[in-house]
């Protein structure tokens, strides 16, 4: 039986969704016992593909971000350090590791820089495609690493893909709204844009003796950025109803008063009930309701990943939210996939809330909500930005004509994998597949296998094949050149991520590796043999306001 996908009510205008995934991301490992496991992204992708969501959106493998692109926000020295350090030479960088906070919560592992490049590349290209009207929603679950600073790793994050994506959006949009629903405060993004009104940051997070120790209610920005940083400190155990009662009024007010040109939503799933490092009590549907509400404003939307350390719940939630972005609600029964046994014992697509006590009293939530709404009202209205021509950079030419250099490759040389990936499969190329019967497609049977009544008695031609070859994958199509006049980009901002290549990465069955996945036994109980590490002890909350050195003009 095919997995169930129910169209969402009220979706008159179907959204164009670009989904970014790189199969290499599952090959990186922070180390034994570390709670951050990139394998969770592949687990999510396996659900996305086996539910059949590849029929509803375009799937891309983004071009990894380069060192030069990363230095639009990060310092040259820090990016160079990340590109050079490896487990085999880390003893030669003892001083630098201390300087850049690398080695404990943010360990050195094989392929560290490549991992950062994949994460940043997806967010930057997603932003680029949104800005050029190539899609309405861009999804990069490998992104959302919101703790990284200009010259410092923090909270499992090395390169801040969110800041890099926002900088690209600012080249075309006068104002960008950043929303963070991770259990931890989005300190790296807030710090980067703390002194500007071009970006409003809004974070809902646990506060008080909790990493990173920032995000107090009184932290509202300074200078031109005053009242453009919003922080909603939460207590343990908040429920879906309580979360919705403050999230929707705050975001609605922000949309009315700030009127952003684009929205970036960080969907960290460590705010779900039962997370190894979290302490909130949201269900999967409560978490996803935030995505659905933000999507309803019909603004260009960049959906990013983030925290999340109970991986079977992370993959469930992000797959469900991918479906919402594509305009469908996924059925509760999880389809067969390479990680199927990890979703037992119920094998359902759901994360339920627990009976954890909610320490967020209605009076507390109401008081904090009113204070934040007052800050929003004080901005008066959308800040104006001087308009000028958008400076063209190399990525613009590539995005306008992704195949412009294909003819320069000698005919007797092998085509690069990026070109092979980008070739679009024509609609109807495979007649017998798992989307049989959709869009007027018919079953085709051999005339030799028809009985006297004209009905097929034997096996069909091209019996059903796996997702590896049956999914329709849409690549890069022709597009209209971007407008020549828009919001002035921040001073000093240069090119962003290059184009990606379309690919429908398969997630067919494979033997289970020895990857460290939730240490779950066959009866569904989590083993206590290895204890997950927690993030570093939070520093004492500071009352002083700090911001990135040059938040809107790249490295100095």
| 374 burial level (CB within 10 Å; 0-12, 13-18, 19+) | exposed
The three-state secondary structure class of 371 is helix
- If one counts every other C-beta atom within 10 angstroms of the C-beta of residue 535, the result is 21
Question: What DSSP element (H or E) covers 257?
Answer: helix 240-258
Distance CA 61, CA 422 (A): 9
Distance CA 379, CA 318 (A): 34
Q: How many residues does the chain have?
A: 556
CA angle 243/329/39 to nearest 5° reads 80
- If one counts every other C-beta atom within 10 angstroms of the C-beta of residue 88, the result is 9
- Among 284, 487, 536, which residue's Cα sits nearest to residue 388? 487
Cα–Cα separations (whole angstroms), residue 54 to 19, 38, 61, 118 = 9, 21, 13, 20
Distance CA 247, CA 95 (A): 43
Catalytic residue among 147, 184, 185, 287: 147
Say whether 147 is catalytic. Answer: yes
Question: Which of the 8 DSSP states describes residue 234?
Answer: E
Distance CA 525, CA 531 (A): 14
Distance CA 319, CA 328 (A): 11
What torsion do the CA atoms of 368, 369, 373, 374 make, to the nearest 10 degrees?
-30
Catalytic residue list: 147
């Amino acid at each position: 039986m095919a997995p169930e996908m129910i169209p969402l009510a009220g979706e008159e205008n179907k959204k164009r969704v670009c989904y970014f995934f790189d199969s290499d991301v599952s090959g990186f490992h922070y180390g034994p016992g570390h709670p951050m496991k990139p394998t969770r992204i592949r687990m999510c992708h396996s659900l996305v593909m086996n539910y059949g969501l590849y029929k509803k959106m375009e799937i891309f493998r983004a071009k990894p971000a380069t060192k030069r692109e990363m230095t639009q926000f990060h310092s040259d020295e820090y990016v160079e350090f990340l590109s050079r350090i490896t487990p085999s030479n880390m003893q030669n960088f003892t001083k630098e590791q201390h300087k850049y906070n690398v080695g404990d919560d943010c360990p050195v592992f094989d392929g560290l820089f490549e991992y950062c490049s994949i994460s940043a590349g997806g967010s930057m290209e997603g932003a680029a495609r949104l800005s050029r009207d190539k899609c309405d929603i861009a999804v990069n679950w490998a992104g959302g690493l919101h703790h990284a600073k200009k010259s410092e790793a923090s909270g499992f994050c090395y390169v801040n893909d969110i800041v890099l994506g926002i900088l690209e959006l600012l080249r075309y949009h006068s104002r960008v709204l950043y929303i963070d629903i991770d259990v931890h405060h989005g300190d790296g993004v807030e710090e980067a844009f703390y002194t500007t009104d071009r970006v409003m940051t809004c974070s809902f997070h646990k506060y008080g003796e909790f990493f990173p120790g920032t995000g107090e209610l009184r932290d509202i920005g300074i200078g031109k950025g005053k009242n453009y940083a919003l922080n909603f400190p939460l207590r343990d155990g908040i429920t879906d109803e309580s979360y919705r009662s403050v999230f929707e009024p705050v975001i609605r007010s922000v949309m009315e008063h700030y009127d952003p040109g684009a929205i970036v939503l960080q969907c960290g799933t460590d705010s779900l009930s039962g997370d190894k490092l979290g302490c909130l009590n949201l269900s999967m549907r409560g978490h996803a309701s935030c995505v659905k509400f933000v999507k309803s404003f019909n603004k260009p939307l960049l959906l990013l990943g983030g925290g999340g350390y109970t991986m079977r719940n992370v993959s469930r939630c992000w797959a469900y939210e991918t479906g919402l972005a594509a305009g469908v609600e996924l059925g509760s029964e999880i389809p067969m996939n390479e990680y199927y046994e990890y979703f037992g014992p119920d094998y359902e697509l759901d994360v339920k809330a627990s009976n954890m006590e909610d320490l967020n009293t209605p009076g507390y939530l109401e008081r904090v909500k009113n204070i934040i709404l007052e800050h929003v009202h004080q901005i008066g209205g959308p800040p104006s930005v001087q308009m000028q021509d958008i400076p063209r950079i190399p990525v613009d030419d590539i995005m306008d004509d992704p195949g412009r250099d294909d003819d320069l490759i000698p005919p007797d040389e092998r085509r690069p994998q990026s070109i092979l990936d980008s070739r679009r499969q024509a609609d109807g190329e495979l007649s017998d597949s798992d989307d049989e019967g959709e869009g007027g497609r018919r079953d085709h049977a051999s005339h030799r296998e028809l009985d006297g009544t004209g009905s097929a008695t034997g096996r069909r031609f091209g019996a059903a094949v796996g997702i590896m070859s049956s999914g329709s994958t849409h690549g890069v199509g022709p597009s209209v050149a971007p407008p020549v006049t828009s919001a002035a980009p921040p001073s000093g901002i240069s090119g962003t991520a290059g184009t990606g290549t379309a690919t429908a990465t398969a997630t067919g069955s494979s033997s289970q590796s020895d990857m460290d996945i939730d240490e779950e036994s066959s009866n569904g109980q989590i083993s206590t043999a290895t204890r997950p590490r927690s993030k570093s002890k939070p520093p004492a909350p500071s009352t002083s306001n700090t911001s990135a050195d040059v938040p809107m003009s790249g490295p100095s």
